[in-house]
């Protein structure tokens, strides 16, 4: 479900994240844990994309709230 273009973009971001393997990144740690649990490729990629979007949304929401309080 959802936009095929968005899914493709998210999977590309997750693919780069797995290849670069930054050890302190929370999304990479989450995906690596799911991979170690033996989850299938699309399951841990979709879970990582969901985690990434939740973190991104939280940061954007926090930033917008800080803009409203400074004005």
Predicted pLDDT at 10: 93
> Which are the contacts of 43, defined by CB distance < 8 A and separation ≥ 6?
34
Per-residue pLDDT for the chain (71 aa), expressed as one digit of tens each?
Answer: 789 999 999 999 999 999 998 889 999 999 999 999 999 999 999 999 999 999 999 999 999 999 888 76
Overall domain count for the chain: 1
C-alpha 66/C-alpha 39 separation (Å) is 38
Residue 35 lies in domain: 4-68
Q: What is the DSSP letter of 57?
A: H
C-alpha 34/C-alpha 45 separation (Å) is 9
pTM of the model: 0.82
Predicted pLDDT at 71: 65
Predicted pLDDT at 51: 95
């Amino acid at each position: 479900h959802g936009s095929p273009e968005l899914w493709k973009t998210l999977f590309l971001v997750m693919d780069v994240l797995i290849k670069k393997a930054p050890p302190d990144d929370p999304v990479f740690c989450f995906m690596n844990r799911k991979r170690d649990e033996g989850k299938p490729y699309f399951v841990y990629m979709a879970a990582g994309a969901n985690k990434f979007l939740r973190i991104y949304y939280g940061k954007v929401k926090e930033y917008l709230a800080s803009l409203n309080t400074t004005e």
